[in-house]
Structure 1
Amino acid sequence: MEINPEIIGFIAGGLSSALFIPQIIKILKEKSAEEISLLTCIIGIVSSALWLWYGILQEHISMMVTNSIAVAATAVLVVLRLIYNGEKN
């Protein structure tokens, strides 16, 4: 049985994108994002955006979808970091 590589891409990319969800939930519950590194988030956005671009160039739908989600989730982390860090100042 041959497995379509796009399925593997969706599973791998989906798991990578899902890494951000527990952190977003934790921040929203605790209303604190002090432990979030802004530099790490920026690197994550740039990395995912480059993988997204690569996926577009190679026409890999799994890379396009999962890295779009990763960019969006990391951007949410940045916004939450700025919101909750700004409330304490």
Structure 2
Amino acid sequence: MDVDPEIIGFFAGGLSSALFIPQIIKIFKEKSAEEISLLTCIIGIVSAGLWLWYGIIQEHISMIVTNSIACIATTVLLVFKMIYNRGKN
């Protein structure tokens, strides 16, 4: 049985992107992002952005879609970090 590598890419990338969703929900509900590292957010955005760029160059739709989602999710984490830390300073 042959499996299309793009299907594996969508599954793997989807899981990696979904990793951020529970954290985003938790932060939104608690209105606190103290436990989130600013450096982690920045590294996540840069990493997903580079993987996205690589996916575009290689024309891998799974990398493009999943890393676009990862960029957005990590950016949301960063924005929440900035919003909820603003009131604490």
Cα RMSD of the aligned pairs, angstroms, is 0.4
Aligned pairs for 1:27-42 within 5 A: 27-42=27-42
Aligned to 2:21: 21
Distance in 1 (CA, whole Å) between partners of 2:33 and 2:7 is 34
Letter in 1 for 2:21: I
Q: CA deviation at 1:87?
A: 1.4
Runs of 4+ in structure 1 displaced over 4 angstroms?
A: none
Residue deviations 1:17-55 (CA, integer Å, cap 9, x gap): 000000000001100000100101100100000000000
Aligned to 1:12: 12
Aligned pairs for 1:38-77 within 5 A: 38-77=38-77
Letter in 1 for 2:16: S
Distance in 1 (CA, whole Å) between partners of 2:72 and 2:63 is 14
Q: CA deviation at 1:2?
A: 0.5
Distance in 1 (CA, whole Å) between partners of 2:31 and 2:46 is 26
Letter in 2 for 1:32: S
Secondary structure of the structure 2 residue equivalent to 1:34: coil
Letter in 1 for 2:70: A
User: Please, which runs of 5 or more residues in structure 1 have no aligned partner?
Assistant: none
State the percentage of identical aligned residues. Answer: 80
